[in-house]
Chain A
Amino acid sequence: MPDVQAVLKVVDIHKHYEGQSLLCGVSFEVQAGEILCLLGSSGSGKSTLLRIIAGLETAERGNILWGGQSMDDLPVHQRNFSLMFQEYALFPHMNVFSNVAFGLRMRGISEGIISKRVEQALAMVDMSAFKNRRVTDLSGGEQQRVALARALAPEPRLLMLDEPLGALDRSLKEQLSSELRTLLHRLGIPAIYVTHDQQEAFTVSDRLVILHEGKIQQQGTTKDILSHPASLWLAEFLGFTNQLRGEVKTVFPLKIETSQGLFQTNNLVFNIKLGQKVTLVLKPEHAKVVRQNENGNTISGKVIDVTFRGDGYLTKIWLGSGQVVTFTSPHNHKIGSSLQVVFPPESVLCYV
């Protein structure tokens, strides 16, 4: 996806460790002012990738380019990228000012310039009034701002945040991830944000790169990815668990015969053949309860569980064939009642 605005280009990165492939042909771009999220579970290779971009590790193959210039032979301190780590990683022994100043002192910058840069960085995150406080006296959100100020103080051209909200509880994470997005956009510095948490990634990012076992599964906006996950693995990773196995009956339009009858999908699948075995993923968002089978795309079963979820009732239906399908209904259906639920063609994804 070439783009004239791309500032960072990661090109075909390969890395092995003890015979295992950690990264295999990873390529993506970060554009000016963009927040790009690297999303993946533990062991997906995202932190290794971040370390390679930072210059803390070397790739066996591939290049890191900034503004078209290779960064491969440039040591960490000359790349001018800042890393912000998990759990803020602040020195508990120091006050806010000294924490922000520490990295600058390691770069051998004079005390006069350090003082100015620290003041500027603290002002950027609205923490100027806290400069003499001990970091242990700050709230989680305030500590996060100090950590961000420390990453900003060297005036980096790229910010890299490695699980910055790491071990926080869900509600604080939701609040801080939203604040962080606003702040990063206000600063306008391109950022790579690494997380294993989907909700956090969806909240913070402009664009996502999803990694699994060292390979990119898909990249795009949250909307693109949630609308059309590129693989069955990715659909499952994103929590689309409603699945039906079936066989291709017609190719144009694409219709699949399943244990629940015929399903049509608008999903484009290339090189698909009549009779081919496929897996359908039924996305729950447009499902609706109907009185009778509406000429296909309908499942029938008994309600086995109902949970209120704010935006509706999460309803689980037992299909009788050992399968359970979940969808959100505006109604509180009675457990044990029989339901027929239709999934429109745009909510049915097909994977070979």
Chain B
Amino acid sequence: MSDNVILIKRDHSGKEVWRYSGRMLRATKTGVLVEAPFNRADLPFHGLVFKHNDRFVELYLIGYWFNIYEIHDRDTDTIEGWYCNVTRPPIIQPNQIAYDDLALDLLVYPNGRQLVLDEDEFEKLNLLPQDQERARKGLNQLKELLKNPTLFSFKELLERD
């Protein structure tokens, strides 16, 4: 039994598009928290730079249509921002987490500025109306959760009853 976990990102149709390794930090009745190094080359991204080996702390909640990545600087561990994916609810196993990415993303800067990304791509997916609605609801929940990033806490979300 180990803390190692494989993370599998799939497209909206369930086809695997990316797989990487992480370590499970915490698991509760509401979800899990995973830590994974950013395993790609440095990537400038809407005014931020995701650097190789930046520490991504990733939250997956049971039954929710999103995940949240808190990005920590590889050298100082300061929070660089939050990158949030709108997804179908994750399938969480102790050694594997899989989720269907629905293209729609939310980027949140440390100062609280929010940027919705890839809405056009989301529209082109032609999801079922009920899935579109759930995805939009997921995006709205993300916006609300991260409205004031200084008050945002993974701990609180993981320890709800």
Give the interface of A toward B (CB within 8 A): 76, 85, 87-94, 98-99, 101-102, 105-106, 108, 135-136, 143
Q: List 29 A-B contacts (CB under 8 A).
A: A76-B91, A85-B93, A85-B95, A85-B96, A87-B1, A87-B95, A89-B93, A89-B94, A90-B1, A91-B24, A91-B27, A91-B32, A91-B94, A92-B1, A92-B2, A92-B3, A93-B27, A93-B28, A98-B28, A99-B94, A105-B29, A105-B30, A106-B62, A106-B91, A106-B92, A108-B63, A135-B1, A136-B1, A143-B1
Select A102's contact among B29, B63, B89, B96, beta carbons within 8 Å: B29
Q: Which chain A residues lie closer than 8 Å to B91 at the CB level? A: 76, 106
Q: Which chain A residues lie closer than 8 Å to B92 at the CB level? A: 102, 106
Interface of chain B: mostly helix, strand, loop or mixed = loop
Does B29 lie within 8 Å of A90, measured CB to CB?
no
Select B95's contact among A89, A94, A101, A102, beta carbons within 8 Å: A89
Q: Mark B71-108, 1 if CB is under 8 A from A, else 0.
A: 00000000000000000010111111000000000000
Tell me the bound Cα distance from A87 to B1 in angstroms. 7
The 5 closest A-B pairs by CB, nearest first: A91-B27, A89-B94, A89-B95, A93-B27, A91-B94
Q: Which chain B residues lie closer than 8 Å to A105 at the CB level? A: 29-30, 62-63
Instruction: Compute the total of residue contacts between A and B using a CB distance below 8 Å.
Output: 48
Q: What would 12 more interface pairs be, CB under 8 Å, given A89-B95, A106-B63, A136-B1?
A: A76-B91, A85-B95, A89-B1, A89-B96, A90-B94, A91-B94, A92-B94, A99-B94, A106-B62, A106-B92, A108-B63, A143-B1
Closest A residue to B98 by beta carbon equals A56
Tell me the bound Cα distance from A136 to B91 in angstroms. 23
Chain B residues 19-48 with CB under 8 Å of chain A are 24, 26-30, 32
Does A101 lie within 8 Å of B29, measured CB to CB?
yes
Tell me the bound Cα distance from A85 to B96 in angstroms. 10
* Min CB gap A16→B, angstroms: 14
Does B26 lie within 8 Å of A93, measured CB to CB?
yes
